[in-house]
Amino acid sequence: MTDQPDRQALLVMDFQAGVVERFGDDHRLLGRVRSAIDAAHAAGLLVVYVRVAFRPGFPEVSPANRSFSAIAAIGTKFDESAPGTQIHSMLASQSEDVIVTKRRVGAFSGSDLEVLLRSRRVGTLALSGIATSGVVLSTLSLDPPIEPLI
């Protein structure tokens, strides 16, 4: 573990308009996440927003994937440019923040998150997510695990 702020990051995962809406748009939760983001900024940590979205026509979605094929069946709601895939307005990013688009449940699967973190030499992550049993546990449970950063 490092105490160097430039080697730490806060991941803000799945807090996009369409997902937040499904969980009731709880402003108390969003306020707590906003406070964590503000604290991370004040401490000099990298803030990475992770959202789930797909290319038009959903070429990344296999018909065998029950969860995501159901999303593809409802149309364009999860297209990359759709309003529902954008970060919730209460959690708006700043210019130094990074937005990563993932194509699976976990933040590392189908995204460039690992490349981003390695290039910044980030060795410590704080995870936040709206669907803990989905995005947080899937991101935490890496197989194979990422090697420690030097």
Domain-embedded: residue 147: no
| pLDDT value for 2 | 52
Q: Dihedral sign for Cα 148, 48, 42, 31, please.
A: negative
Note the pTM of the prediction, 2 decimals. 0.85
Find out whether 17 and 89 touch, Cβ atoms under 8 Å.
yes
How confident is the model over 41-66, as pLDDT tens digits?
Answer: 999 999 999 999 999 888 888 888 88
The domain tally of the chain equals 1
Domain-embedded: residue 23: yes
Domain-embedded: residue 148: no
- What domain range includes position 132? 5-140
Domain-embedded: residue 129: yes
